Chains A and B, each alone.
Chain A
Amino acid sequence: MELFTNQVLAGIATGAIYACMALAVVMIYQAIDHLNFAQGEMAMFSTFISWQMMQWGIPYWGAFVLTLAFSFAGGIVIERLLFKPLAKAPILTNVAGFIALFAIINSVAGLIWDFTIKQYPTPFGSSPFLGSQLISTHQAGMIGVTVLLLILLFFFFQYTRIGLAMRAAASLPESARLVGINTSWMIALGWGMAAAIGSIAGMLIAPVVFLEPNMMGGVLIYGFAAAVLGGLTSPLGAVIGGFLVGIFENLAGTYIPGVGNELKLPIALALIITVLVVKPAGLFGRPIVKRV
């Protein structure tokens, strides 16, 4: 039993990483109705920016806030330059755009900061959390930040005018224009917010996986798995999905013979497929009721 609780706790700790990334995935999905394959690379690049600022002597929280602002603006710029012209293009063209963006950001980061692994600091320390060997204060801090982010997003979308406008623009662009919403800017805003959330995820993940241009590869797949499991339309679902994937992965590694560390990633992928087959809207995705 103790083994079980320990594995669940450890799963929650890694799950926080996935939850954070899944939140960024859901955010962009809400705005543009596609999954952004370059999301992880954008987050990685933002994390490098914050690292560079710290190298220049800016304190952690200063670099954190500046990076948020940089990422927000960067997301908007990427949308205006690259994806606004593709807005009416077929989905495959957009996918090609995402992959191009992925490759470009990855190479540019490698060019500027090279591919060696770098230490990345944590503001929460890395001592055991409440005396537990399984969760460090950093991981606890990460869970806290993810939950806080979730609550902020909930209030933003549910109770602000601009949040409502963003939801409208995402669900029915033509109707949104007919009530006077500038849908094009709502999409740009969605990119900005997704990039900013992604940068938070990157800065929280970097102390765990270390900073390097390929740090987000695996994480993004888990983030997708979490988002699909929880429901691509639900930020809450994404976060819960993140924790579930973390727990599931740990338990499978412990209890299913032969799984071990090597087969953890295929498990995430198998999870995506299973959920898509059994419950396409995800655990918490809003089933859309339509009466004709």
Chain B
Amino acid sequence: MTAMLNVKDLRAYYGQVQALHGLSFALNEGSLTTLLGANGAGKTTTLRAICNMVRSTGAIEFDGAPLAGRSTENVVRLGIAHVPQGRGTFTTMTVEENLQLGAITRKDKAGVVSDIERMYDHFPVLKQRHTQQAGTLSGGEQQMLAVARALMLRPRLMLLDEPSFGLAPLIVRDLFRILGKINREDKVTILVVEQNAQLALELADQAYVIETGRIVMSGNAKDIANNEDVRKSYLGY
């Protein structure tokens, strides 16, 4: 089976500073993969490099086609939805407008309308608040909105940058349950970057561990979770 997303020898730079030092990994279609690592390891940079939001070299292929030279919006238009750190909510707009924006590149009006209803089924709290300014939502609700907005693209691949950040443990569990459901039922391939390794390994089927811009460990999520040495040296629990 060929990989849906193939990253080879990825190096990324912020000005003169190199943040990624030749990262390689692959995602299979339909998989739910987590990318783990400490603060500053390069997790966010990896996601940003996929969407061409940071200067990088190396090869990133999506369905066999290179992403290099595509603008961020053109990467997104291929069906890659990115939920950024800090959620990227359009805080001055209503919840419903945020969802419409997620589908702004789609031409099928009827499909968009029914997808908004589907999101309200997934996340009932968004329906209650659909006319409210998105900035007034709580952190957890905003994260739900960010995931829903990304799904409105009908993505084939969804990238999530620390969805658990700043959320209460119960809300994180709920969110991860929904992510698993989306992965299974809607066949969306998911790559989730996390600091909360324990929860992420429960959710994912594949895992990569990165440290200072390099992959130091990869494999089946359960194996990594069960390997005490790895847990102690890289994941800190």
Question: B100 to chain A: which residues have CB within 8 Å?
Answer: 161, 164
Q: Is A178 an interface residue (CB 8 A)?
A: yes
Known A-B contacts A164-B97, A167-B93, A172-B90; the reply to A288 vs B135 at CB < 8 A is yes
With an 8 Å Cβ cutoff, the count of chain B residues facing the other chain is: 30
Q: Is B92 an interface residue (CB 8 A)?
A: yes
Contact A289 B135, beta carbon cutoff 8 Å? yes
B23-31, B101-109, B204-212, B217-225 - interface stretch: B101-109
Contact B88 A291, beta carbon cutoff 8 Å? no
Neighbour of A164 across the interface among B51, B101, B135, B149, CB < 8 A: B101
Q: Is B180 an interface residue (CB 8 A)?
A: no
Q: Shortest beta-carbon distance, A33 to chain B, in Å? A: 13
Contact A174 B88, beta carbon cutoff 8 Å? yes
Q: Across the interface, name the chain B residue whose C-beta is closest to A168.
A: B101
Question: Which residues in window 158-202 of A have CB below 8 A to B?
Answer: 161, 164-165, 167-168, 171-172, 174-183
Q: Is B196 an interface residue (CB 8 A)?
A: no
Q: Is B198 an interface residue (CB 8 A)?
A: no
Question: A88 to chain B: which residues have CB within 8 Å?
Answer: none
CA–CA, A161 and B109, complex, Å: 11
Neighbour of B76 across the interface among A165, A178, A288, A289, CB < 8 A: A178
Question: B82 to chain A: which residues have CB within 8 Å?
Answer: 178
Question: A279 to chain B: which residues have CB within 8 Å?
Answer: none
With an 8 Å Cβ cutoff, the count of chain A residues facing the other chain is: 23
Q: Shortest beta-carbon distance, B129 to chain A, in Å? A: 12
Q: Type the 1/0 row for B8-41, where 1 means its CB is closer than 8 Å to any CB of A.
A: 0000000000000000000000000000000000
Kindly name the residue among A171, A178, A181, A286 whose own CB sees the greatest number of chain B CB atoms within 10 A.
A178
Q: Is B183 an interface residue (CB 8 A)?
A: no
CA–CA, A174 and B101, complex, Å: 13
Known A-B contacts A168-B101, A288-B135; the reply to A178 vs B51 at CB < 8 A is yes
Question: B76 to chain A: which residues have CB within 8 Å?
Answer: 177-180
Contact B72 A177, beta carbon cutoff 8 Å? yes
Q: Is B2 an interface residue (CB 8 A)?
A: no
Neighbour of B135 across the interface among A175, A178, A290, CB < 8 A: A290
Q: List 24 A-B contacts (CB under 8 A).
A: A164-B104, A165-B101, A165-B104, A168-B101, A171-B91, A171-B92, A172-B88, A172-B90, A172-B91, A174-B88, A175-B89, A178-B51, A178-B81, A178-B84, A179-B102, A179-B105, A180-B73, A180-B76, A182-B71, A286-B92, A288-B91, A289-B91, A289-B133, A291-B137
Binding site for A on B (CB under 8 A): 51, 53, 71-73, 76-77, 81-82, 84, 88-93, 97, 100-102, 104-105, 133, 135-139, 149, 153
Binding site for B on A (CB under 8 A): 161, 164-165, 167-168, 171-172, 174-183, 286, 288-292
| 6 tightest A-B CB contacts, nearest first | A175-B88, A180-B105, A180-B76, A177-B72, A290-B135, A180-B77
